[in-house]
Every structure is written in structure tokens, then in C-alpha cells.
Amino acid sequence: MAGTRPFDQQKRQIRLGGGVHQVMVAPDLITDQSFSFKLQESGTNRDYRSFEEKVQTYLHAITAPAMAAYPEATPFGGIAVKAAAQGSPLRIPDMMSSRYHMNDVSSLLRGKRVAIVGLGGTGSYILDFVARTHLDRIALFDDDKVHVHTIFRIPGFIVDAIGSLKVDALARQYGNWHSGLEPVPERITLANIDRLAGFDFVFVSVDDGPARKLIVDWLSARGIPYVDCGMGLDWSLAGLSGFVRITGTDRKAYDDNVGSARLPIENAKENEYRKQAQITELNAMNAIMAVIRFKQHFKLLDRLDEATSYIFDTATMEME
């Protein structure tokens, strides 16, 4: 450590062991003092169980008094520096990939641009998952606002979200994870659908049949990979019963499924989905299926079949 011995908030010198002693950490970093101490357990000293435990203990010993005196201070300023050094839009360094020797896999998404069309329950969960990746850009398309009844569908809790545009509230929240978010407060129609050109992948999570047909037809005709999400719920004798589905990612998927339950192009006349706010587990399930298919497309996950659509039955817990 550089400088004099640190003191706690009661102006007492912190007992750290060691003392005045220069240590060369690196050619351009020489400390003025050193310290070393053991942890105590049941009244006796014990060795640290890991190097991580040792570093965390030392860090707390030095920073806790400073943070008590200055609550806004943080010892984690280096996190942003490390994240920037990785050359990724992620604001938190991807230590998990390096820790488990998966950098080559996670890097497959570098430079890729994706769009999420529809930021309701499923779309917002899709964002929750992909905001933690090295995607270069994530565009959010939705013109709706967050309402009291719809905030239940969004992951976690976003302060002051009610009344805000969904894309703005979510971009603000997930901007803490990713710097490449682009909120677009627009509903995709024939007039602006060309805004989807240039994306490497598009998640379609709209609940309007004609809009789904327009978007998926347009994307697949231009060779833009996509995954369309959807679900349906109805009352049964024992409670709600329904399905969660995904369809994609090419023209064959469109041709094989358009107009069927796997890619509906009309709005359901009777459907409990719009009436049930407390089904975030199904929204999350739908998003999980979509993101798995997305990662299969870019070879992050293996794929052993050529199916163009998958349906999960909530009553039987079976995938078709």
C-alpha cells in the first residue's frame, strides 16, 4: 500500500500486521508499506481457504473504514476499466467466460446486431438474457408505455417505470449491463419495416397476428434470421392450460407454419393470456426457448434436429 498506515473512522490505526516496508509489485508500482494477517476461527489463526478469500478479506479491511466515512466511495472502479479493456459493449467484464475457458464461444456474438420487436412480457425477458452477451447492438422496438398491470410482466422491478415508454424504461435499466442498447419507440408496420434491414437476427414477440405475419414474411423473404414467440392460455377444469411456442429461423419455417397454431396470423377470439398478469414464468419460458434457438443459430449451443417450430405444453410439461 502507498502512503501512511490507514486509520478507521474512530481514528485508530487499523491493525494489519506488517509495517513500513517497500515492496515492488511491478517496476512502476512500489508500495510504501506491507501488511499480512490471518483469519481467526474459534480463537485461533487459520489459513485462507482460497486466494479469493484472502483478497476479499484484505480489500474489506482497507476499504470498509473509507466507505463508512464516504458512503458514495467504491473500491470497484477497476470493473469498468476491465470491461472496457475487453473491447465489448458489456459494462461488466465477462469473467465467467474466461474463468471457464469459454471466451471463444461467447465471442461468437461479437459484432452481431439484433432487434427485439415487442417488449412485453416475453420481449423484456429476452432482453434480460441477451443484454449479458457481447452483442454489438440491441435495438428495442415498441411504442407502448409501462402500465400498472403490465409492470408485472417485466423482470425484476424498474423504479419509476410506470408511465414511461417501455423501450426507454428497459434501456435505462439494462443500460447498466450493456452500452449498445437502442430504444426505438415505434410499432413495426409496413411504413417502417425496412428499419429491420441490416440486423443479424430479429426476435419477434408481438401479440398481434397480422403484424406477426407482416414481420416474419418480410424478414424471411430477405434472409434475415428470426425467431417468432408466442403463447396461448385457456381455462380448463383444473386451472389455466396452454402452450408456449417458438418458430424460426428462415423462409422454410415461415412456409411450413404460416397460418397454423405454430405461426398464427389472426388474433385469438378468446384467450386468457391478455387477462393474466401473473404468468411471468411462461414469458420467461418463451424467452428461454427463443434465446436457445438464437444461440443455436450462431453455434453457441449445439442443435441436433431440423425442426422449424417447438411447442411446450404447460399441462403435460412436454415439448413437441
Q: Structural domain boundaries of the chain?
A: 1-75, 103-319
User: What is the widest separation between alpha-carbon atoms in the chain?
Assistant: 79
pLDDT given at position 71: 80
Global pTM value:
0.80
In the chain the first and final C-alpha atoms are separated, in Å, by 61
Spatial strand order of the sheet with 309-313 comes to: 181-184, 137-141, 113-117, 201-204, 226-236, 239-249, 309-313, 318-319
pLDDT given at position 95: 80
Strand duo 137-141 + 181-184: pairing: parallel
Phi-psi region of 118 (alpha: psi -120 to 50; beta: other; left: phi over 0): left
Tell whether omega for the bond before 308 is within 30 degrees of 0, i.e. cis: no
- Residues (pLDDT < 70) of the chain are 1-3, 18-19, 76, 269-278
pLDDT given at position 222: 97
pLDDT given at position 178: 95
Using CA of residue 115, residue 119, residue 123, residue 125, what is the dihedral sign?
Answer: positive
pLDDT given at position 270: 61
What topology is assigned to 103-319 in CATH? Answer: Rossmann fold (3.40.50)
pLDDT given at position 1: 55
pLDDT given at position 174: 97
Classify residue 241 by its DSSP letter: E
